[in-house]
Amino acid sequence: MLNRTIAPPIKDAIDFSLQLKPYNKFTLDNGIEVYAINAGAEEVLQIEWVFYAGNWYEEQNMIAATTNYLLKNGTSKKTAFEINEHFEYYGAYLNRGAYNETAALSLHCLNKHTGHLLPAVHEIITSSIFPEDEIQLYKQNNKQRLAVSLKKSEFVAGRLIDEYVYGIDHPYGKYSTTAAYDAIAREQLQAFYKQHYQQGKYIIFIAGKLPKDIEVQLNKNFGQIAVNSNLVSKTHSIVPAIEKKYRIINDADGVQGSVRMGRAFPNRHHPDFIKTTVLNSLFGGFFGSRLMSNIREDKGYTYGIHSYLLNHMHESGWMISTEAGRDVCEATIAEVYKEMELLRNEPVKEDELLLVKNYMLGTVLGDLDGPFHIIAKWKNTILNNLPESYFYDSVAAIKSVTAKELQELANKYFVPSEFYELVVI
């Protein structure tokens, strides 16, 4: 019998052997690849159609995002209301999202209803019509939302730091404007939709308790659509700002400032990337990080400060983000540089490094909980054209990285002159 007076032994996450459930892959008649995870106890599914239709591929600002948003706002057979009512009737949720390189439709539903829901998704992908009244309503709502958001320092700071690092004409540096919304025309949306959705290249990711005939259902609904499998990725040049330090007054009476610091950084294919994620966690990637301990706990300048690597495919970026009192923004930036200097000059102690490794591997362990999380891991690997061993390579790198390696990475990347500084009041 279990003796509940004795505490169970504590095991470090670093000692666990983590396993990523393999996917099942099949190909539809038209060449569309499907990656599937059949797991879970509940009768639910998540299906995601990921199109190469992000703003990387647009000729005019906001066309990709607008096209994606209006996909479910009217087809040749149904109005926006009828589309939403159809999915709600079956207790399903159809979401859409546009990103830099990709755009997606994602469906969450009971697996017994796929026969009613997949044809509706097929209709959206093949016969959306972008009604003019829906376009005008979209423009009006988003311009009003933009006007409100532009009064907030954190919103302005998030836009400008991307512009400084990548350039205003680069997909990673572009942002919405009233002029961009006004310039959107229905013909542009229809052309983008035809090229990147109706005849576009996409991948299907599916996870949950799969129906036995899911391959047949997917092939019936999506395997006969003509696909342009020769889609060529456009190239974009990064043209960063020359000036590195910016101080902007967005609200003369504001009592809080939004601090952003950032630099360009290689993508996941770079040999430094995985071990740099450990350095990032140590520096500002979790609640026990150096930045949090210093700037929040010790100095009390902010409620929270974070550093992170951007989730882009072609290029990444290293960002530091916080909101602080107007009178301590400059002091906050100075403390960030002090923490960079410490990591350049002093190797991290083994107990702190072990804490960071356990945190990171514990997070990975949590990310393996359930089929939806598992397929998300595989989606990241597949869309970024990474080797299938990437998950295990990452775990091995986190476990094995040394204090000396982290110090070398800090000296390589924590170069103050490479960072853009922005404070928006």
The answer to whether residues 209 and 298 belong to one domain is no
Q: Total domain count for the chain?
A: 2
Q: What whole-number distance in Å separates Cα of residue 380 and Cα of residue 390?
A: 10
The answer to whether residues 137 and 97 belong to one domain is yes
The answer to whether residues 49 and 189 belong to one domain is yes
The answer to whether residues 145 and 91 belong to one domain is yes
**Cβ–Cβ < 8 Å for 149, 98:** no
The answer to whether residues 30 and 124 belong to one domain is yes
The answer to whether residues 206 and 354 belong to one domain is no
Residue 109 forms part of a structural domain? yes
In the DSSP assignment, the letter for residue 73 is S
Q: What is the CATH number of the domain that holds 135?
A: 3.30.830.10
Give me the pLDDT at residue 383, please: 96
Residue 1 forms part of a structural domain? no
Give me the pLDDT at residue 10, please: 74
Interval 293-324: pLDDT, tens = 999 999 999 999 999 999 899 999 999 999 99
The answer to whether residues 59 and 207 belong to one domain is yes
Residue 415 forms part of a structural domain? yes
Residue 264 forms part of a structural domain? yes
The answer to whether residues 157 and 255 belong to one domain is no
Report the run of H or E that residue 12 belongs to, with start and end: none
Residue 250 forms part of a structural domain? yes
The answer to whether residues 210 and 264 belong to one domain is no
Residue 11 forms part of a structural domain? no
The pair phi, psi for residue 344, each rounded to 5°, is: -75, -35
The answer to whether residues 343 and 417 belong to one domain is yes
Give me the pLDDT at residue 232, please: 66
Residue 367 forms part of a structural domain? yes
Q: Which residues of 223-248 are buried (b: 16+ CB within 10 A; e: fewer)?
A: bebebeeebeeeebeeebbeebebee
Residue 51 forms part of a structural domain? yes
Domain stops at, among 222, 256, 272: 222
Q: Domain span at residue 282?
A: 245-424
The answer to whether residues 262 and 144 belong to one domain is no
Stated pTM of the model = 0.91
248 SS3 class: strand
268 SS3 class: coil
The answer to whether residues 253 and 167 belong to one domain is no
- Give me the residues of the chain with pLDDT under 50, please: none
Give me the pLDDT at residue 15, please: 73
